[in-house]
Structure 1
């Protein structure tokens, strides 16, 4: 096939993931050599001149199975001066009763009860207004925070007045299925490596919604979290950086999280993530055209190209299916979806990316290498998932009415 539409699409479908893998690997290596290599990991963080009060915020909705363990883990933080503010956001189970009882066990804990489901963004807003500290650490109600995580996050916030937020390093707790093991490698080789590369190249696409620290004055500057965005973490990250606040990544700030281990749960989660990315792109694209926002251009362009790539992959599958039932012009004929030489090259580069990320991440999880085998299946499983969720998410973002509040829906948290 020497020309035609399909040839152009195939070239783009091959070179885009190849180029991005090289960008992520090079950025990850630069980050490691510049910052990580000198730091002893998984030991006590370095001392600081001051230890200001930190408010740890935990928005909760129907977290009865996990909230006790989460709060107990937070109460064990090494940071000397902190409070915990848990927000019971209209839970229909006994989350509220458990939180009230936990206040008798942990004097650092305060609880806010919202009468109805207002959404995570509103819960974060309410807790921020009630917080005594000028620094906030936001943690999901089912997450377990490492004992030194707050300290590692605060190093960045205290090092520069321009740092508005710091994102931590989520690690997967549940690994009982193939999907769970794949996500262990994904958070290491994709999400962790991307955040390292984005930190090197200037702007981070998003803080992690499950573990992130904020300077309160920075949140006030951008108007806090928007309640009508399906992913409040992506939205606040873009607005902070568009107001020229810096966001950093701290891999030592570990947070152990539960992730979906069913196809249905994983689909719903990734569809929401993809829709959130599309929503911020649609809402802020006009502002991004200004020269003052040029440092955000790389993040926005990369995400836009990834959307185009997803639709190109969808078009390739559609043309292949049509070719099975009707005769297409030679320039539009897709003979097979099976990997050819380019698929082999992509597979090798993909495994090299996994290897680099695992060599870096073993500082934080000694036995993570055991998941390397399972990552062989990652390109097929997750590229398909990324493609399909992006295709479905964009029209949902376009059709969504602005001002519609995003409320809680109980996620899949793995096989029990």
Structure 2
């Protein structure tokens, strides 16, 4: 009787491992298609800006740490915004290179640029907080120091604030600049098929897991209500997203707000980035766990359920992989024996679903960037590289979050900026 029960558990576990990613893929595809049909289909394109009934002043905020190679282009792109009323606040967060000197030089050429200097590295969250407090305006658009904001992005972001009093933040649409290597090319598809598609779907069922840390707009009243960005979280973007939505502010996704970004193109850089993302998600979940079961916060439950289920799935995959390896070296009871992990028909179904997901997302995103179709053929590598890395970082990130010193300041670490000269055929 007990053995039969254990065999049923094994069968249920294997079914969960197969059907969960299949279910989520189709949920994201259906949600993204519905979002596109309702909100994007009749738009003329990101260059055809909406006409706003008013144009409130905006501060474009750029926290910088060792961005001497990129900050000139970043500030130039900000100064080229078509939105009529804005200033620029750049924060030099204790950079050890020539970032501070370059920003001071740029301030002579761009009268709308103001520079804040920190004598020591205080972290991105502190840079954003000080810029927000020093800004005289109600609205902020925050980008990274190596990003290039599309000239029309600020107008698209502000259209949500002008038309929605409860909108606390608007997340933009990051586009990959570094695409000369295999990892770079695969990330072009990932940001469309995974990140962009998930944000569209999440907007349909209520709440977004996180704004994009490289391009987002904020209402200062909402920031003030939630205490601004937390200084001890390794992912300030996930943290502020949850704080705002738990305080009943709305977060919207604006696919027309394009921002060209640099991403890691080495396995080491990719691992560090994805591990930070995973750890940051766990930290935010643990920090807010006790208050999530309030009925007034029920709109966050689908996001929490999706995140928690993905964690269970990741650790279930780990358990199955361990048992599969042990089966080669030790005799296991029948109820612990597992079929080969080499893909058979379930793997074919998941692979075809993955390709369908990429095809739909690239078709939707082709309105924002021409020539995306040529990256479709590189997507066959996604399960072998990114999927495996994301799975492993989800496993490693939990103990890192659990045992990280509470209250410890999260400071900058210079990231992998991709391969030099690898910005193939992109621009604003």
Q: Return the TM-score normalized by structure 1.
A: 0.98
* Runs (4+) off by over 4 Å: none
Q: Does residue 1:13 correspond to 2:17, yes or no?
A: yes
Equivalent runs, 1:160-309 vs 2, <5 Å: 160-309=164-313
**Alignment partner, residue 369 of structure 1:** 373
Checking the alignment, whether the CA contact within 8 Å between 2:58 and 2:86 is kept in structure 1 is yes
**Alignment partner, residue 401 of structure 1:** 405
Q: Does residue 1:355 correspond to 2:352, yes or no?
A: no
**Alignment partner, residue 347 of structure 2:** 343
Q: Unmatched 5+ residue regions in structure 1?
A: none
CA distance in 1, matches of 2:137, 2:35: 31
Q: Deviations over 1:299-319 (max 9, x none)?
A: 001000001111011111111
The equivalent position to 1:130 in structure 2, one of 130, 134, 140, is 134
Q: Does residue 1:105 correspond to 2:109, yes or no?
A: yes
Question: Could you tell me how far 1:133 is from its partner in structure 2?
Answer: 1.4
**Alignment partner, residue 425 of structure 2:** none
Q: Does residue 1:64 correspond to 2:68, yes or no?
A: yes
Name the SS for the 2:265 alignment partner. Answer: coil
Q: Does residue 1:413 correspond to 2:379, yes or no?
A: no
**Alignment partner, residue 73 of structure 1:** 77
**Alignment partner, residue 89 of structure 1:** 93
CA distance in 2, matches of 1:383, 1:362: 23
CA distance in 2, matches of 1:204, 1:331: 40
Q: Does residue 1:313 correspond to 2:317, yes or no?
A: yes
The number of residue pairs the alignment matches comes to 415
Name the SS for the 1:83 alignment partner. Answer: strand
Name the SS for the 2:109 alignment partner. Answer: coil
CA distance in 1, matches of 2:59, 2:280: 26
**Alignment partner, residue 157 of structure 1:** 161
Name the SS for the 2:248 alignment partner. Answer: coil
Name the SS for the 2:173 alignment partner. Answer: strand
Q: Deviations over 1:262-315 (max 9, x none)?
A: 000000000000001111111111100111110000000100000111101111
Checking the alignment, whether the CA contact within 8 Å between 2:46 and 2:257 is kept in structure 1 is no
Question: Could you tell me how far 1:214 is from its partner in structure 2?
Answer: 0.3
CA distance in 2, matches of 1:344, 1:288: 38
Q: Unmatched 5+ residue regions in structure 2?
A: 421-428
**Alignment partner, residue 45 of structure 1:** 49
Checking the alignment, whether the CA contact within 8 Å between 1:125 and 1:224 is kept in structure 2 is yes
Q: Does residue 1:389 correspond to 2:358, yes or no?
A: no
**Alignment partner, residue 426 of structure 2:** none
**Alignment partner, residue 330 of structure 1:** 334
**What is the root-mean-square deviation of aligned Cα atoms in Å?**
1.0
**Alignment partner, residue 424 of structure 2:** none
**Alignment partner, residue 423 of structure 2:** none
The equivalent position to 1:22 in structure 2, one of 19, 26, 31, is 26
CA distance in 2, matches of 1:382, 1:44: 35
Question: Could you tell me how far 1:4 is from its partner in structure 2?
Answer: 4.6
